[in-house]
Amino acid sequence: MTPTSYSEGGLAKSINGAVLPDAPDLARMRTERHARLQAQMAAVGVDALLLLGTNPVGYTTGAEAPGADSGRAGLMRPVALVVGGDPQPHLFTPYPEGAPADLAGDHLHPAIYPELPDGAASAAAALSELVPAGGRLAVDELPHPLAAVLDSYEITGASGVLGPARLVKTADELACIRTAQSINETAMAQVQPRLRPGVRQNELSAWFLEAIFDLGATGNGIDPIWQVMPERLADGPWTTHGDVAFPTASTDRILRAGDVIWVDTGIDWRGYASDFGRTWLVEAGAAPTPSGRQAAQFRRWDEVMAAVLSILKPGVTALELGRAAIDANGGTRPWIEHFYLAHGVGTESAEMPMIGTDLGDAFDDRMVMQPGMVLVLEPVIWDEGAGGYRAEDIFAVTDDGWVALSDHPYDPYGERSW
């Protein structure tokens, strides 16, 4: 079948029978996520789930926390505890104002500090009141001070619970991703016209950051990338594998006429990540015009996208999608060796499913597309001697095909064909 273009009403397509809503119902989303976690806990025989990671806690509780660097986020962290059979999660947080309004008062607790020796003991005491000793406790992170006080539990990893729950999104989750992406795209549309020789990378970041919060973002996920690409691999940073270096951190680098920049930004909206990638050109004055080779790179990128999307539907394997991309690129792998053709996005900016990683063909062959899975497709067309083209777009697998969660032009390269 030919997938419906999202510009032609594809948004009405169903995901596990549910219609993608214009705006997410956050309370319903939390209830459905909690039910998935409970079902998965029961399936793998876990009595309680103790989560410390910023994004897993957000997924589990719906709690929001201010954006912070990893050091602060590690010490001042919301912590989630899900007890088997309990209708709601417990939340321990330094930011009670971020707790969902429908979280019961006896499930909202003061902050605990599991990374500190003098905080771990009180964390264990709080835990012991909620989870009987001897229980099987699944954890995502286990800082040494916490491990030292949890010896009355049987400890196991949380990935067996979190992984399956998060792999497939509810319709409300998809609406969150689409909202995040829309904010990100609108902000980038405001930034791109200001690109010209003499502008510095950090100035682009300033415009972007001001715009996303003006548009309602709840956080910035990653320092914006505005990487100037070399024409030849040998001109770029040295890499361990000889392939393209990307993404490298921005500085106050002054952008020059003729620069090809791969942009990559990501924001947070209500716990969900966006992922924006395009290739931009720096020229003075009027709109830049791609060279013949640059235009051909974009056409090739578009062909790869079209080939993948033409077979994307439930039942297709990641391996088949990867091979379709390689075939459309004339037998050459159209992605960077340390990355992938596609990754998922949700409460993590990159999560399963992934296509084309070094986990290998056998892994990809077992990864079968299901309705509600999300793919950020990011083919890279490298054209040694003339740089390359990279852009990414987000798709959800529907009950019979796909629907796009991103919608942004490819200026100054042209228009997509799919």
Partner 1 sequence: MVITAGPGVAALPEGGRVDFARLRRERRARLLEAMAEAGLDALVLGRPANITYASGARQLWTAGARPFGPGAVVMADSGEVHLLSTWDDGVPSEIGRDHLFGLSWNPGRIVANLAAIPGLASAPRIGTDGWSPGAGALVAAVAAGAEFIDAWPALAAARRVKTVDELACLRTAAAAAEAGMSALVEALRPGITERQLMGVHAAALARLGLPTPPIEAAASLMPGADGKPTALRRLVSDQAAEAGQMVALTAGALYAGYEATLSRTWLVGSEPGALGTASAGQRGIAGQARALRDARVAACRPGPLPASLGPDQSAGAEPVAWGVGLGMEAPLLGAGLGTGTELSAGMTLVVQAWAAGLSGPGGALEADLVLVGPEGPESLTRFGSCPALTAD
Nearer to partner 1, 208 or 298 (CB): 208
CA angle, 164 as apex, 345 and 391 as ends, to 5°? Answer: 20
Tell me if 193 contacts partner 1 by CB under 8 A.
no
Nearer to partner 1, 32 or 64 (CB): 64
| Binder among 41, 50, 52, 83 for partner 1 (CB under 8 A) | 52
Among the residues of 312-400, which ranges form H helices? 318-328, 361-366
| Binder among 6, 59, 207, 402 for partner 1 (CB under 8 A) | 207
| Binder among 28, 72, 232, 366 for partner 1 (CB under 8 A) | 72
Nearer to partner 1, 42 or 206 (CB): 206
For 49, the enclosing helix (H) or strand (E) is strand 48-51
Nearer to partner 1, 207 or 382 (CB): 207
Minimal distance, residue 133 CB to partner 1, in Å: 20
Q: Specify which residues 98 forms β-bridges with.
A: none
| Binder among 68, 126, 368, 386 for partner 1 (CB under 8 A) | 68
Tell me if 221 contacts partner 1 by CB under 8 A.
yes
Tell me if 235 contacts partner 1 by CB under 8 A.
no
Instruction: Return the residues of window 246-285 that contact partner 1 according to CB under 8 A.
Output: 247-252, 268
Distance, in Å, from the CA atom of 370 to the CA atom of 317, rounded to the nearest integer, reads: 10
Tell me if 76 contacts partner 1 by CB under 8 A.
yes
Nearer to partner 1, 11 or 183 (CB): 183
Tell me if 368 contacts partner 1 by CB under 8 A.
no
Evaluate whether 89 touches 36 at the Cβ level (below 8 Å). Answer: no
Query: Residue 304 burial by CB count (10 A; 0-12/13-18/19+): exposed, middle or buried?
Result: buried
Produce one character per residue of 2-40: b if its CB has 16 or more CB atoms within 10 Å, e if not: ebbebeeebbebebeeeebeeebebeebbbbbbebbbeb
Minimal distance, residue 328 CB to partner 1, in Å: 23
Query: Residue 331 burial by CB count (10 A; 0-12/13-18/19+): exposed, middle or buried?
Result: exposed
Instruction: Concatenate the DSSP letters of all residues of 13-48 into one string.
Output: -EETTEEPPSS--HHHHHHHHHHHHHHHHHHHT-SE
Stretch that binds partner 1, among 42-50, 51-59, 167-175, 375-383 (CB under 8 A): 51-59
Minimal distance, residue 306 CB to partner 1, in Å: 27
Evaluate whether 368 touches 316 at the Cβ level (below 8 Å). Answer: yes
Nearer to partner 1, 20 or 367 (CB): 367
Stretch that binds partner 1, among 58-66, 171-179, 294-302, 410-418 (CB under 8 A): 58-66
For 166, the enclosing helix (H) or strand (E) is helix 159-167
Tell me if 379 contacts partner 1 by CB under 8 A.
no
Evaluate whether 113 touches 75 at the Cβ level (below 8 Å). Answer: yes
Instruction: Return the residues of window 338-357 that contact partner 1 according to CB under 8 A.
Output: 338, 349, 354, 357
The residue count of the chain comes to: 418
Evaluate whether 38 touches 138 at the Cβ level (below 8 Å). Answer: no
Instruction: Concatenate the DSSP letters of all residues of 284-308 into one string.
Output: SSSPP---HHHHHHHHHHHHHHHHH
Stretch that binds partner 1, among 49-57, 323-331, 388-396, 410-418 (CB under 8 A): 49-57
Is omega for the bond preceding 379 within 30 degrees of 0, making it cis? no
Tell me if 300 contacts partner 1 by CB under 8 A.
no
Instruction: Return the residues of window 77-116 that contact partner 1 according to CB under 8 A.
Output: 77, 94-98, 110-111, 113, 115-116
What is the total count of residues that contact partner 1 (CB under 8 A)? 85
Distance, in Å, from the CA atom of 366 to the CA atom of 291, rounded to the nearest integer, reads: 41
Stretch that binds partner 1, among 19-27, 171-179, 204-212, 365-373 (CB under 8 A): 204-212
Tell me if 119 contacts partner 1 by CB under 8 A.
yes
Is beta strand 342-344 parallel, antiparallel or unpaired with respect to 374-377?
antiparallel
Minimal distance, residue 327 CB to partner 1, in Å: 23
Q: Encoding tokens for residue 293?
A: 């080779």
Distance, in Å, from the CA atom of 368 to the CA atom of 319, rounded to the nearest integer, reads: 9
| Binder among 45, 360, 409, 414 for partner 1 (CB under 8 A) | 360
Nearer to partner 1, 75 or 311 (CB): 75
Q: Specify which residues 50 forms β-bridges with.
A: 81, 139
Instruction: Return the residues of window 132-161 that contact partner 1 according to CB under 8 A.
Output: 139-145, 147, 155-159
Minimal distance, residue 138 CB to partner 1, in Å: 8
| Binder among 196, 232, 241, 366 for partner 1 (CB under 8 A) | 241
